[in-house]
Amino acid sequence: MQNSFATTLRMLREEKKLTQADLAGGHLSRTIISLYESGRKTPSYEAIQHIAERLGVAVDVFFGGGNEAAHKAFITLMQQAEKAEKRGDWTDAVEMLDSAAALCGTYHLNKWKFYVDYHRGLALTHVGQWENAVEILLPLITDPSFHDNLDVAYDILRSLGMSMRKMGQIQLSILFFRLMLHITGPSDHKWIRTQINLATAYELLSQYELAERHYQNAIEAAKQFGDGMLEAWALIGWTTVQFHKNEIEGCEEALTRAEHLGEILENQEIIYAVRHNRLVMTRISRNWDEFEREYSELLNSVPHEEWKAQLLEEKILYDTEQENWLEAEKDIEIALSVPVEGCIRAQLLISAGKCYLKKQEDMRAKTLFCQAIELMRMSSSRKIGELFEYLY
């Protein structure tokens, strides 16, 4: 297995006993050289020529194959993909990176294979192609370049964890998130994000004690690190776990703190999440008049489909409590038409099934429970056992 461009550059520089500052020159700063060696930035073809000249090697050394035309075309595609990533146009980035990967294969540009696959995997995660992302990223864990840069390793593990979670393979997602903890520390915002990701995964498995512990870890670390955004999300997650346990003690204080942080940061998604969790708390408290008012307000400001699904689930639970079957039928139909997958859809199916169960429409309930089990069968969720009790 050949070394990547980034590893080759670092090894050649160290062989010549040069610092990054020594290698810099012209329009290339020490910082730029550092970004090249970390795989964080694609150099121009001219920059590669300059570096090759400074190191006294041929340009081909940094590609592993191909010719000048192929090299230039490849670098152009990589730089265009990098620009697309920066502006958040991930679909465009995937197209550019697929073309770059094809060039890599055709002209044996082996020094760049790890770098291309790393960026392709991340881009595919962003566009929701979870299975393709896993197929590309998983082999990179055994590549020597994986161990050369902890930031790159973190990105790969995070994308694998997120993809596995979206695919419903929660236990595998936990494995990747736990590996991430070994390359980060409590003073790093990445460690805090990983704690939140682990908490979310355990929450999906209904392992609420573990979820609560990781949310608390995140809250404390975020406070010490001064990261208001991560503290707010961890507080919101912690209250969600309490609601799963039908507990509300301490939740208003936590949500008030999260709301304050959201307002300071002018983060509308945090503010919406706080309002959503206040709605849940209102339902648990059985304050029905307040629930109807808050629900109507939230319905007009849902930021995306996953939140819409969770909001509609709250409405179904409310309808069930009120035994408002006509309203429940309508809300279930709308909820199941929302394009969400995995555990979120499974939870919708479970809540709808429980509604039909209370309505004594057992066959309809069992049909929905079976669909939920099928979605959760890879997750090892405790809820699967509960659903089998309803079926038999």
pLDDT digits (tens, 9 = 90+) for 120-175: 999 999 999 999 999 999 999 999 888 888 889 999 999 999 999 988 889 999 99
How high is the pLDDT of residue 223?
95
Return the residue matching tokens 């990967």: 101
How high is the pLDDT of residue 144?
85
- Residue 388's pLDDT band, with cuts at 50, 70 and 90, is low
pLDDT of 263 over the 90 cut: yes
Contacts of 318 (CB under 8 A, 6+ apart): 283, 288, 291, 295
How high is the pLDDT of residue 382?
61
How high is the pLDDT of residue 166?
87
Return the residue matching tokens 């969720």: 381
Return the residue matching tokens 């393979």: 169
**HSE-up (13 A, CA, CB side) for residue 205:** 21
Return the residue matching tokens 């550059």: 9
SS3 call for 369? helix
| Cα(45)–Cα(51) distance, integer angstroms | 10
How high is the pLDDT of residue 71?
94
- Residue 39's pLDDT band, with cuts at 50, 70 and 90, is confident
How high is the pLDDT of residue 380?
59
| Cα(161)–Cα(168) distance, integer angstroms | 11
Kindly report the CA angle at 339 between 361 and 280, in degrees rounded to 5? 65
Q: What is the mean pLDDT of residues 225-237?
A: 97
Q: What is the mean pLDDT of residues 277-294?
A: 95
- End-to-end CA gap in the chain: 54
Contact call for residues 311 and 295 (beta carbons, < 8 A)? yes
Q: Which residue type occupies 205?
A: L
- Residue 73's pLDDT band, with cuts at 50, 70 and 90, is very high
Nearest to 388 by CA among 371, 369, 363, 364: 369
Query: Sign of the C-alpha dihedral, residues 363, 367, 373, 374?
Result: positive
* pTM of the model as a whole: 0.86
What is the overall mean pLDDT for the chain? Answer: 92
Query: Could you tell me if residue 58 is left (phi over 0), alpha (psi between -120 and 50 degrees) or otherwise beta?
Result: beta
- Residue 64's pLDDT band, with cuts at 50, 70 and 90, is confident
Contacts of 140 (CB under 8 A, 6+ apart): 114, 117, 118, 121, 146, 156
List helix spans (H) across 226-302. 228-244, 251-265, 268-284, 288-299
- Residue 3's pLDDT band, with cuts at 50, 70 and 90, is confident
Report residue 230 CA to chain centroid gap.
14
pLDDT of 25 over the 90 cut: no
Buried b / exposed e over 25-57, threshold 16 CB at 10 Å, is eeebeeebbeebbebebbbebebbebbbebbee
pLDDT of 386 over the 80 cut: no
- Residue 222's pLDDT band, with cuts at 50, 70 and 90, is very high
